[in-house]
Homo-oligomer: A and B are copies of this chain.
Amino acid sequence: MTTISINTGRREEFVDITARVQEAVQASGCRHGVCHVICPHTTAGVTVNENADPDVVHDILLSLGEIVKELRGFRHSEGNSTAHVKSTLVGTHVCLPIVEGRVALGTWQGIYLCEFDGPRRRQVRIVCVSAGKEA
């Protein structure tokens, strides 16, 4: 398992960690298999989405803000319940194929740490599992 650290700079943002995941996969020596990208936090997440046009990430964050509203009935005293909800909706892990020593992403895909309660120092854990080339 490799752990990478990321300093987020705002309350909410998506940080592109694709290059750092690629480095971890190369360092692991895994040639074919699956790369697990796992976030050990409860007010952040990880997702795969477009990394060509940064407006896409803007629109996803805007949409999540409309979907997950502050509610009068919230009880958690830290005031970050919407961040916990977004973490569960977006999820805290992604799985990606490893092909010939690299994470195989779609043309437009990048891997993002999703910060919902920053700025903070965050970690992401990466585990590579080998499988046969034909598996």
Q: A128: CB under 8 A from chain B?
A: yes
- Which residues on the B side are within 8 Å of A48 (C-beta)? 42, 88, 92
Chain A interface: which size bin? 35 or more
Contact yes or no, A131 B127, CB < 8 A? yes
Stretch at the interface among A5-13, A15-23, A78-86: A78-86
Contact yes or no, B76 A55, CB < 8 A? yes
- Which residues on the B side are within 8 Å of A82 (C-beta)? 63
Q: Smallest distance from the beta carbon of A106 to chain B beta carbons, Å?
A: 3
- The residue on B at minimum CB distance from A110 is B42
Residue of B41, B59, B129, B130 near A81 (CB, 8 A) is B59
State the A residues within 8 Å of B (CB): 1, 28-30, 32-34, 36, 38-42, 47-50, 53, 55-56, 58-60, 62-64, 66-69, 71, 73-78, 81-82, 84-85, 87-97, 99, 104-109, 123, 125, 127-135
24 pairs, A vs B, C-beta closer than 8 Å = A1-B99, A1-B104, A1-B133, A34-B36, A38-B96, A40-B105, A40-B106, A42-B108, A42-B109, A47-B91, A49-B87, A49-B88, A50-B84, A53-B76, A55-B74, A56-B84, A59-B71, A59-B84, A60-B85, A62-B71, A62-B73, A63-B68, A128-B131, A130-B131
